[in-house]
Structures are given as structure tokens and as C-alpha cells.
């Protein structure tokens, strides 16, 4: 599914269980050695935005998360960064949310983003792609990625047993 088709869907599902299995092409794209993938939550709303209007109708479409996904896709056009979207990252209280994945490296989750934070996500992903130690350099990150860091998730290889 393209970012454009995600924006065209009306309405997006509410947060919940993932829908569908990833296709073989998506899995192969993410597995490219050294490639950084930015995953944007396309169902995100701003935390203070109600799910329905006062009359009980579904909230505005396209959702802000879809707009962020489209902004990130546009910003990534001239880069090697891969942009994908998912229906929910489960970070609703700190949405708009995105994650960054790189094979063999720690993963990152960001929240509190704006619909026009796509360029920041791609700038951060390019820093991450160039890192030799598998970490995204903190000082060089765009401010929105410094303030919006939710979690840094280790690789399985870096986990340690309890003493």
C-alpha cells in the first residue's frame, strides 16, 4: 500500500490490533543491509483531538498521522531512507508517532511530532544510516527528535542476562 492510498482511506481504523501480514516485498525492503526504515503511525491524531465530533461522527480525515506519513515520503524522495506506515504504533497519548529501524542497530520510537515533521524524520534517519555504532547521534538530531524520543529499543544481541 502506498502512502497516497493510506491518505485516501476514509476513515482510518482506530488504534488496536495490527491489520494484515506484511507482504514479501515489504519484508525484503526492510531487510536491505544498512537501510533505515521510518515507520509512521498513519492513524495518529494529536492527543487532544477527540476520536469523534460532538455529533458522533468520525474525526477528520485524512488523519494527521497520514499527513505526516505523506510529508516523510516526500522528504525521503531524494534519499535512501525507506518510509512505510502502520495503522497503529500504540503511542496514542504522545502522537503523532514514528519509529526508525535499521538492521543490526537499536530502534527508536518518537512522539509529539507535527504533520510537517517529515523532513526532521528523514534528517534523523540519514544520521542513523551513517552511524557506525548503530546509534543515532543525539547532538546532531533535529530538535523534534531530541524532545520527542519515547524509547530506544535494543537489539537481541545486546541484551544481557541477570547476574
Nearest to 96 by CA among 131, 136, 45: 45
Report the alpha-carbon distance of residue 31 to residue 29 in Å, rounded: 5
Instruction: Tell the residue number behind the cell numbers 531524494, with chain if given.
Output: 78
Report the alpha-carbon distance of residue 88 to residue 82 in Å, rounded: 18
Which class for 68: exposed (0-12), middle (13-18), buried (19 or more C-beta within 10 A)? Answer: buried
Who wins on pLDDT, 103 or 47? Answer: 103
Task: State the pLDDT at residue 12.
Answer: 43
Alpha-carbon distances, residue 44 vs 24, 47, 163 (angstroms): 26, 8, 40
Start-to-end CA distance of the chain, whole Å, equals 46
- Domain residue ranges of the chain, discontinuous segments joined by +: 3-10+25-156
Nearest to 10 by CA among 56, 41, 43: 43
Cell of 72: 516523510
3-10+25-156 has which CATH code?
3.40.30.10
- The alpha-helical segments, DSSP class H, found in the chain are 3-8, 24-30, 64-76, 118-130, 143-147
* pLDDT digits 0-9 by tens, 99-147: 999 998 999 999 999 999 999 999 999 999 998 888 888 999 999 999 9
* pLDDT digits 0-9 by tens, 55-101: 555 556 788 999 999 999 999 999 999 999 999 999 888 889 999 99
Contact call for residues 33 and 92 (beta carbons, < 8 A): no
Amino acid at each position: 500500500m502506498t502512502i497516497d492510498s493510506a491518505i485516501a482511506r476514509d476513515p482510518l481504523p482506530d488504534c488496536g490490533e495490527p491489520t494484515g501480514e506484511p507482504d514479501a516485498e515489504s519484508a525484503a525492503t526492510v531487510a536491505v543491509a544498512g537501510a533505515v526504515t521510518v515507520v509512521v503511525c498513519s492513524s495518529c491524531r494529536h492527543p487532544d483531538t477527540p476520536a469523534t465530533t460532538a455529533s458522533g461522527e468520525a474525526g477528520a480525515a485524512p488523519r494527521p498521522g497520514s499527513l505526516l506519513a505523506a510529508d516523510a515520503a516526500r522528504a525521503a524522495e531524494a534519499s535512501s531512507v525507506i518510509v512505510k506506515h502502520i495503522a497503529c504504533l500504540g503511542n496514542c497519548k504522545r502522537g503523532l508517532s514514528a519509529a526508525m529501524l535499521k538492521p543490526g542497530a537499536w530502534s527508536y520510537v518518537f512522539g509529539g511530532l507535527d504533520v510537517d515533521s517529515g523532513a526532521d524524520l528523514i534528517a534523523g534517519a540519514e544520521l542513523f544510516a551513517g552511524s557506525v555504532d548503530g546509534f543515532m547521534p543525539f547532538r546532531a538530531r533535529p530538535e523534534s527528535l531530541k524532545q520527542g524520543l519515547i524509547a530506544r529499543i535494543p537489539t537481541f544481541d545486546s541484551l544481557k542476562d541477570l547476574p
